[in-house]
Structure 1
């Protein structure tokens, strides 16, 4: 609950910065006495904001490194979350002011101070952003707990992001001296920002006090994200590259339209107070949309969900463009435009996650952290493009200080709608075309990739450079290794299973078990060498060098992890009898799959004595099944 409230405050801050800051700059920061001068200042400010957002992309990797290298009694993340929440909230509040009239009395000094405050706020926000979302794997190693934490956080994020739109105009008008046709004045916007800053800061304090990092040696020496590594991953992983281009165009498009909506209510409809209705509806439908994703993806596939979402968004923009001042049409079209956004986000997130295995199979190296770092970089780049476009749209349409719905000309309406709907539609259509032609990584292809990785997982073990892969495969100790049953059930000869890869011995030598219990335990002391995103298999290396793969069910890769919980991570040392995975047998049978567990030793050719202690009958986890030994030390040792 503490983490969920942290997400709530964190996204309140982000929504205020990404959506409502530009309308304050263009419509309220300057008075209407000098239109030409105001337009120049708005131009300079939008250039500064957009440029700093791009520059910040170069800073982000150093931020990640700094957090990785932070060691305090409060953990890696909490100091940066609290510092980011404090400095960011103060800076945001100041930026929502004219700095005691400095914007008019000394514009150059104002721009200098503005640039310093903005980059300081943006950097500390990034420290908080990276630190906050990096806490999920640090809070727990339990997959079920992680999923619950992430789900609660997404709900908190959705509410926080949309509730800002519900309260923005009521708060601004309430604190304003002059309501200004429902637009409010400088004091109202300053108090609005101060309120958001206070809530954001309080949420950071709650995270610092109410969450606890699970300290472990597994979290030491994490791979550092460097910009050159990000582009290296982008360049060599073609599916990630094309998806990144698609998402970059898409996210720039939707951010432009989202940021223009309050302008629409203010200057097209002349009723900024009604904007709260829209954001209240978005807050409700956003939660529903997140819950709809699993069944929709299962029924239609993620790829088709993406195309349906884009089609619905384009239809919504078409209705929106001709809605005029009709509140009903505006609300319907705007809600239809918002509903697909959480779905597209999840589609992209899933494909990016799948591209980790795609790159691993293609290049023999798993670039997990680098791959997942791409999406937030693209979001920031899309935000920079949005700031430039929205600033230009407001100036060219005449939607600046002193303007009202009655003063905007028909030409201004047309210009604004071209920016609000035309530019985003072009960006989204271009991205969709690229997705259609170039992004081929879907659930079926990913299942094949994971299946292939299972066959060759032991060939891709990462070493510390002190020993070769061949050394590891042959490093079977001279002492005897007792291989215990990892699961309770009935022993079945491996040759009798219905999977040809296992029955033929291609995957290794071992046994199979028809399970009567859904818990998988470590058969020996060793290290987790391979985990799979579908959680249906795990690869281990014993302390004596035995490489083994435990595979739950046949065809279960297609379940995409549903019904499976993994309790350990790659690189973790486990003791014999320690629980590794838990699965729900009814879920496997409901999906139409065989729940037989295959257990194979993949480097069996390097083992001198491979003795079966038990080959048939009932077995309980922990019972000895195999006796493995290599009485003669190999030349490689």
Structure 2
């Protein structure tokens, strides 16, 4: 009896330690993503070219933001190939952990270099800076993608139990909210503090942004290596069969044959572009419109608290409310938020009310999209006779990358169009500047949110009920021998078949 208890306790302890290690990974990963998708362009527009002639600086900002958009959009087509590389990795560490170790370290170091202005090269030779920047950014983006894809793709390798998998997903989302929004809280204090330490002035400086980059780098390496050394991949027949699943050509083919995957992806993409584009310029709202940059940190607090509450609340709500309605309700909340931000951008009280309505539904929308994408795996399997897990799971990083790329371009465009660059202050803003900002930051994203809602409402059919029916059909085909074991032995069908066999024997 005591031995059994000890074994059970050891298993629970092992699971707890692995859960904590896995959860830590998205803390640094999300902080990294926010630093690159939001604050890198803020750094570029406000500080990177501060020592350059204003007219030339505007051109260079345009060049950098355009290059970022082009590079990141070009690289999204590489993500399924990177997923294929991860799937075919064979080491004594397993398939995913090596990419946490390597991808986490390389991408983090390169991020610090980018935030240093390539060690000040920008002030020495702008042409050489642009060339080296492109090379560095491409390598950074590839290794970040390897880390991101291997992180979320690792979940099936950690456990074959569906409940345990949902636990890992929830933990990753929970810590991701802390990492992403925590950066929003600390970015201004960090930049301001280190700028003052090195320059003696209470203003943003290159030294402050370099320090910020180094801090994000250290957090990125620490959390990636926590996953690499703190988790252990399981081995099973299911995983062995998944290893044989597809080549790069089949990876792209699977994406375009799964219509529900594409509709969910389109709806999420429209949301992601709107969301990241707005969060990318909220600092400009506080700095140039409200003339209260210190209050910007409260934005991160709102987002952080919303994520901490809504992440664990989502499964509870979803037991009573179909996720379709959670998604629609979240979208309506965001629409109201955008209307308030557009109409009352100079009223700080209304702005904070709007930000609550903006951030609270984020988890509802994102978790629904992730679960719908996951369920589309079985839908694609039933429709096409082929199960493509890794390829499907690589779609979400692709969508986030597209959103981040377009956000970089939008943020840079807004900064230049609204005159919010370099040493400009709130006193320099004209009504035309503020109107331009409102249109680009709130009204254009509002249109994207409405389109996202329409796509999801009228085109996305995959739901909990539909997914259950799909699993039943797959089970029936498997039982009848219409689908081979190689293709159809999913966790759900195996459990269903075993349950039926158990019932018959009883």
CA distance in 2, matches of 1:76, 1:231: 21
Matched residue SS, 1:171: helix
Show structure 1 runs of 5+ residues with no match: 466-527, 540-548, 553-596, 601-618, 620-637
Residues 236/130 of structure 1: CA separation in 2 closer, same or farther (3 Å cut): closer
Task: Quote how far apart the aligned CAs of 1:227 are.
Answer: 5.4
2:127 maps to which residue?
A: 108
Tell me: CA distance 1:333–1:36, structure 2 relative to 1, closer, same or farther (3 Å). Answer: same
Q: Partners in 1 of 2:368 and 2:414 — Cα distance?
A: 30
Whichever structure has more helix as a proportion of its residues is 2
**Structure with greater Cα Rg:** 1
Higher relative CO (Cα under 8 Å, sequence separation at least 6) belongs to 2
What aligned pairs does 1:438-477 form with structure 2 within 5 A after superposition? Answer: 438-458=459-479, 459-462=481-484
Aligned residue for 1:611? none
Taking a change above 3 Å as real, the CA distance of residues 183 and 435 of structure 1, as seen in their structure-2 partners, is farther
Matched-pair contact (CA < 8 Å) for 1:56–1:123: yes
2:492 to 514, 517, 532: 532
CA contact (8 A) 1:265 1:271 kept: yes
Aligned partners of 2:395, 2:60: CA distance in 1, in Å?
Answer: 33
Change (3 A) 1:107 1:53: same
Q: Deviations over 1:506-555 (max 9, x none)?
A: xxxxxxxxxxxxxxxxxxxxxx945428x8x423xxxxxxxxx6339xxx
Partner of 2:496, secondary structure, is strand
Q: Does 1:161 align with 2:180?
A: yes
Please report how far the alpha carbon of residue 77 of structure 1 lies from its aligned counterpart in structure 2 after TM superposition: 2.4
Q: Which residue of 2 aligns with 1:551?
A: 500
Secondary structure at the counterpart of residue 141 of structure 1: coil
Per-residue CA shift, 1:200-255, capped at 9, x if unaligned?
11112222332222244543361456554344234332222222222222211111
Q: Secondary structure at the match of 2:426?
A: coil
Q: Contact conserved, 2:245 with 2:388, CA < 8 A, in 1?
A: no
CA contact (8 A) 1:46 1:387 kept: yes
Partner of 2:430: 409
* Cα distance between partner residues in 2 of 1:241 and 1:145: 27
Q: SS at 1:550's partner residue?
A: helix
How far the C-alpha of 1:7 sits from its partner, in A, is 1.7
Deviations 1:539-598 (A, max 9, x none): 3xxxxxxxxx6339xxxxxxxxxxxxxxxxxxxxxxxxxxxxxxxxxxxxxxxxxxxx74
Equivalent residues of 1:225, 1:370 under 8 A apart: no
Work out whether residues 58 and 227 of structure 1, in 8 Å CA contact, stay in contact via their aligned partners in 2.
no
Instruction: Confirm or deny: 8 A CA contact 1:169 1:183 kept in the other structure.
Output: no
The answer to whether the 8 Å contact 2:478/2:484 transfers is: no
Structure-1 residue corresponding to 2:392: 371
Aligned equivalents of 2:489, 2:454: Cα separation in 1: 39
Deviation at residue 396 of structure 1 after TM alignment: 0.4
Mapped pair 1:599 → 2:500: no
1:187 and 2:207 matched = yes
Matches of 2:62 and 2:246, distance apart in 1:
34
Give 1:32 deviation, angstroms.
6.8
| Cα distance in 2 between the residues matched to 1:112 and 1:76 | 34
Decide which structure has greater strand share: 1
8 Å CA contact retained: 1:255, 1:386: yes
Counterpart CA distance in 1 for 2:469 and 2:352 is 43
Partner of 2:312: 291
Secondary structure of 1:93 counterpart: helix
Instruction: Map residues 65-214 of structure 1 onto 2, 5 A cutoff.
Output: 65-177=84-196, 183-214=203-234
2:286 is equivalent to residue 265 of structure 1: yes
How far apart, CA to CA, are the structure 2 residues paired with 1:73 and 1:358? 34
Q: Which residue of 2 aligns with 1:555?
A: none
Inter-partner Cα distance in structure 1 for 2:127 and 2:426? 31
Q: Which residue among 297, 302, 305 is the counterpart of 1:281?
A: 302
Matches within 5 A, 1:212-227: 212-216=232-236, 218-220=238-240, 222-223=243-244
Give, in angstroms, the shift of residue 173 of structure 1. 0.6
Q: TM-score, normalised by structure 1?
A: 0.71
8 Å contact kept, 1:19–1:258: yes
What displacement does 1:33 show? 5.5
Question: 1: distance between equivalents of 2:477 and 2:444?
Answer: 47
Deviation (angstroms), 1:37: 0.9
Superposition RMSD in Å: 2.6
